[in-house]
Amino acid sequence: MNKFKIGSRTIKTGIAITLALGICHALNIEPAIFAAVSAIVNLQPTVYQSYINALQQIGITVIGVMVGLTLALTIGNSAIVVGVSSIIVILIALRLRWNSVILIGLVTVIFIIDTQGDFYLENTIARVSVILIGLVVALAVNVVLAPTDYRKFTLEKLKQFHIDVTNIFHRKILDFIYMRKSSEQDDKNLIKLLEQTESLRASLDIYKNEIRVLPYSTQAKELVDSVSLLEELYRYDEQLLHKILLIQDFEKERLNRLAIRDVKNYSDSFQQVINEISKGNEKILKNSHVLQQGILEQASLESWIDYDIADREVDEKLEGWYQKHGGNPYYMSALMEISIIVYEMRWIAREQTRIYDKVKTYK
């Protein structure tokens, strides 16, 4: 037996339509049906989106009234005038990038120009009122019945993104250490993660703006702080994603070079640097989990690992290696690759520590 789940958006739509029609009938304002249409158009997934949509609707309604009244009073209310007015309103809306409220602007124009008799002003006020009633009702319903789980929804998306990016980076470093090709699944996941960045940024922006229009919240300060941390972690993850791409860029060439020379093991001096990279890779993974708990799961912070790839020791190893093999293109390519890895991991260590220190100030 199929089970039907009624979502909050469905319930809000029903309530908004009922209230819009009820208010118009109580005040004897017609045509009430357009109040319902206005309410439906202005219902948005979040309070912020509804707020922005409401401002645009008010703007396009004023424009529609001005265009409609001007042409109706100077030219008349023929079908041609309605068509010309509609084109003008559409062009203005597109110019202002108010694409989502074009329908309301057109409805307003049609209402105004279609008004019969000599009472244009009175009829205009009455007809515009039904639109504004629907708009106010929709905004009120969105505020009162705001989606309580939007924060949870955003956190879940950012958490999964953080986990996926962190794990792929960890495996990329392991692939580098063990001289192996990355898995096809990781390559596919990398493409998916790149495709997600735009929608994740949009979700984060909506969540941030949602808090701005909820000043009554007793948790407003805490929420603003949490958004700041979410933005920090998201920027870090996005940059980490691009560092994965950087490593991937030289992966194929490196594996071909190693295969041609039939390299099975590293030299002792190179192995020491690889060991430092391996230890740093595990610490990055551990600290990523700590940031995940502190920012995305709102849990107590676990013990933090203060680390950096041993600067002086590693640099001395690389410098000695360069002095010994500086004239050999094969060794120079290897030196460039491992230098990039070391540099990027040092950057990651600094960024993780910076974000962790910021988390501590909010705890």
pLDDT tens track, the chain, 363 positions: 445 456 667 888 888 899 989 998 898 887 788 788 888 877 776 667 777 777 887 888 888 888 877 887 788 777 888 888 889 989 998 998 888 778 878 877 877 776 655 556 676 777 778 878 888 888 888 777 765 556 777 888 999 999 999 999 999 999 999 888 888 898 899 999 999 998 888 888 877 776 665 554 445 555 666 788 899 999 999 999 999 999 988 888 888 888 888 877 877 778 888 888 898 899 999 999 999 988 888 777 778 887 766 667 777 777 777 777 666 777 788 888 888 898 899 899 999 999 998 888 876
**Are 307 and 273 in contact, with CB atoms under 8 Å apart?**
no
State both tokens at 60.
Answer: 């396009």
CA angle 347, 353, 354 (to 5 degrees): 90
**Are 291 and 355 in contact, with CB atoms under 8 Å apart?**
yes
Residue with tokens 């949009």: 202
**Are 245 and 190 in contact, with CB atoms under 8 Å apart?**
yes
State both tokens at 238.
Answer: 């996005």
What is the Cα–Cα distance from 127 to 112, expressed in whole angstroms? 8
Task: Verify cis geometry, omega within 30 degrees of 0, for the bond prior to 31.
Answer: yes
Domain boundaries defined on the chain: 8-144, 150-362
Task: Give the DSSP letter string of 247-282.
Answer: HHHHHHHHHHHHHHTT--S--HHHHHHHHHHHHHHH
**Are 133 and 38 in contact, with CB atoms under 8 Å apart?**
yes
Which pTM value belongs to this model?
A: 0.68
